Amino acid sequence: MTRAELIEVFGTEVPDFVIVTGDAYVDHPSFGTAIIGRVLASRGYSVAIIAQPDWRRAEPFTVFGRPRLAFLVNSGNMDSMVNHYTSSKKRRSEDSYSPGGRIGLRPDRAVTVYCNRIREAYGSVPIVIGGIEASLRRFAHYDYWDDRVRRSVLDDSGADLLSYGMGERQAVEIADALASGLDVHDITYVAGTCFMTSSLENVYDHDEIESFEAVSSDKKAYCRAFMRQYEEQDAISGRRLVQKHGQRWLVANPPAMPLTTQELDDVYELPYTRLPHPSYTEHIPAIDEVEFSLVSTRGCFGACSFCALTFHQGRVIQARSHESLLREARILTKLPNFKGYIHDVGGPTANFRHPACKKQLTKGVCKKRQCLGYEHCRNVEVDHRDFTELLKKLRAVEGVKKVFVRSGIRYDYLMFDRDDSFMRELIKHHVSGQLKVAPEHISDGVLRLMGKPAGGLYDRFCAKYKKLNERLGMEQYIVPYFMSSHPGSTLDSAIELALYLKRTGQRPEQVQDFYPTPGTLSTCMFHTGLDPRDMQPVYVPRDPKEKAMQRALMQYFMPYYRETARQALIKAGREDLIGNGRDCLVPDGRAKPDRSGGGKPSRPAGKKPPQGPKPKRTPKR
């Protein structure tokens, strides 16, 4: 991060690459900048990092001079707009990826702004953009904050190449091509990258999707283009797509091949310090969630409509070996602040440790079928034995007191397993008193659009979880997460959920308002009012008052939300649910909202859960 360090570490004053990032620099394998920097360094390239530069002028981007090969630009571990704004478009009060949690250390649309400043400083220097912001905005896309369709971020930023997905393969291929003397504009063949061109004469074997101009003005065209992007997100079966932007075309090469187990092991066993750069004097909150956690897998075949993981990491599961994870666990036990607790072993979905079926490895994922969702594919291979064995080995590591699984369990996949061994092991050894799961809703109409399993399966899971706890002499609880105002959700379906919560005695502490982030099926529904899979109309709650009502109904039991919930019941014509009757949700009479936070549900009575980290909900990316 300084010239002195560059000389000390690499023996040069001119780095091969300069990474510009919107996050503070943490040398930990949960941070994309650290991974790409370490991967390139392991291949012999020198890497300098400019973290959270002052974007208002060009000078902060010149601290290392012009790099020998290229600038690599990312917004950080989150899209900069999601990082800055809540789902109601209000400015957040904290940035967990900045020192002291301070806001204002990165710009809105960071990738574009950083590229503009680099161009101002160095003109035609090669620029490659990557990370989550570039990945999910690689095509023309609906932008919730502008409430319009924006051009590809590659076109907006003026960068030369865009790397999408996790990026290790692409970074090395691009680096080797540049080092061999190839001009950046001639690097058009790398899987998992996009480039702009004024002619398709030399672009072979491609399919053209609706242009930026078409998807900006025609919502059905937007749906058609989105579905092609969604269906071609596979390294084996995916096609090269082109999308016209004015007089030029965006060319998106098929995704890069997933990393093998050995390649994934190699990435996570690079010599990370696992610490923020020593120049920081303030704590960086984002490290808290991952400091003592192990990344076990990548990819997800869960098919949640509101999640962008499919569009970024893909549906094919990539898993690290037991030996690699055990070596990392032993490293954790040597860290000064380690107290004996591994906070998490997982990934996008903790209990996915192998591909959904063997066909995915030879023919690619199905374009018109989902593995899991409202309905599941009969060909999905359900097997928790490998994960069970891994957890047993980890908790036997010397210095480890407890191993938790906190990154999310797919309860539908778990319920499809006829062998209860994993669920018993999970309950007995790997739950910190509360197991978080995400049913998201209970109305079948909403669940179908969400890509979540039908509501009855969640009830059966809760019953089984309770029964196994009793058999094992445990008293642990489920923390369910629900989502309000998702496309398809009406006041009636929100009331249906509220009645279900009352009937089953569940009081969710957290409710997530639907957030239309780039790259998701749900965002396409939100923008177009259509389900792109069948072009059928979808109800979209857009009125802020109705969205507040839907949220309040999910937490009707809190005094703070009582009056809003009452208004929702009146609007829906359900005054029968107002009063003191057994089935009523809120009492009679108008009361001012309790803004003191009163009414927050307390932990259920019973045993105090075992010591361990408090579950938190990680952002959907």
pLDDT of residue 368: 85
Tens of pLDDT, residue by residue over 102-123, are 999 999 999 999 999 999 999 9
Locate all alpha helices (DSSP H) within 29-179, ordered by sequence.
32-42, 80-84, 110-122, 131-136, 153-157, 168-179
Tens of pLDDT, residue by residue over 337-396, are 999 999 999 999 999 999 999 999 999 999 888 999 898 899 999 999 999 999 999 999
Asked if 51 and 277 count as a contact pair (C-beta separation under 8 A), the reply is: yes
Length of the chain: 621
Answer yes or no: is pLDDT of 542 > 50. Answer: yes
Name the strand (E) or helix (H) holding 403: strand 402-403
Tens of pLDDT, residue by residue over 436-483, are 899 999 999 999 999 999 878 999 999 999 999 999 999 999 988 999
Tens of pLDDT, residue by residue over 71-97, are 999 999 999 999 999 999 999 999 999
Please list the residues that pair with 297 across neighbouring strands.
Answer: 319
pLDDT of residue 601: 41
Q: Where are the beta strands (DSSP E) in 189-252?
A: 193-197, 206-209, 240-245, 248-252
Give the separation between CA 327 and CA 440, rounded to whole angstroms. Answer: 36
Answer yes or no: is pLDDT of 490 > 90. Answer: yes
Of the pLDDT bands very low, low, confident and very high (cuts 50, 70, 90), residue 132 is very high
Of the pLDDT bands very low, low, confident and very high (cuts 50, 70, 90), residue 510 is confident
pLDDT of residue 588: 85
Q: Which amino acid is at 83?
A: N
Q: Report the pLDDT averaged over residues 499-509.
A: 90
pLDDT of residue 384: 96
504: Cβ–Cβ under 8 A, 6 or more apart, which residues?
Answer: 459, 462
Answer yes or no: is pLDDT of 603 > 70. Answer: no
Supply the angle between the helices 455-471 and 491-504 in degrees, to the nearest 10.
20
Name the strand (E) or helix (H) holding 553: helix 544-554
pLDDT of residue 595: 45
Of the pLDDT bands very low, low, confident and very high (cuts 50, 70, 90), residue 303 is confident
The structure tokens listed for 200 are 């398709």
145: exposed, middle or buried (C-beta count within 10 Å: 0-12, 13-18, 19+)? Answer: middle
pLDDT of residue 590: 55
The structure tokens listed for 402 are 């407890």
Give the separation between CA 162 and CA 195, rounded to whole angstroms. Answer: 6
Answer yes or no: is pLDDT of 611 > 50. Answer: no
Q: Calculate Rg over the CA atoms of the chain.
A: 25
Give the separation between CA 415 and CA 412, rounded to whole angstroms. Answer: 5
Asked if 74 and 130 count as a contact pair (C-beta separation under 8 A), the reply is: yes
Residue burial 162-200, b: 16+ Cβ < 10 Å; e: rest: bbbbbbbbbbbbbbebbeeeeebeebeebbbbbbbeeee
Give the separation between CA 491 and CA 571, rounded to whole angstroms. Answer: 9
Q: Output 588 or 460, whichever has higher pLDDT.
A: 460
**DSSP character for 417?**
-
Answer yes or no: is pLDDT of 216 > 60. Answer: yes
Give the separation between CA 361 and CA 234, rounded to whole angstroms. Answer: 11
pLDDT of residue 341: 96
Tens of pLDDT, residue by residue over 32-54, are 999 999 999 999 999 999 999 99
Backbone angles phi, psi at 494, to 5 degrees: -65, -40
Q: Which domains does the chain have, with CATH numbers?
A: 3-195 (3.40.50.280), 292-429 (3.30.750.210), 431-621 (3.30.750.200)
Asked if 463 and 283 count as a contact pair (C-beta separation under 8 A), the reply is: no
* Mean pLDDT score across all residues of the chain: 92
Please list the residues that pair with 129 across neighbouring strands.
Answer: 73, 162
pLDDT of residue 619: 43
Residue 155 vs residues 243, 246, 593: alpha-carbon distances, Å:
11, 10, 47
Answer yes or no: is pLDDT of 279 > 50. Answer: yes
Pairing mode of beta strands 344-346, 341-342: unpaired
Q: Report the pLDDT averaged over residues 476-501.
A: 95
Q: Which amino acid is at 203?
A: V
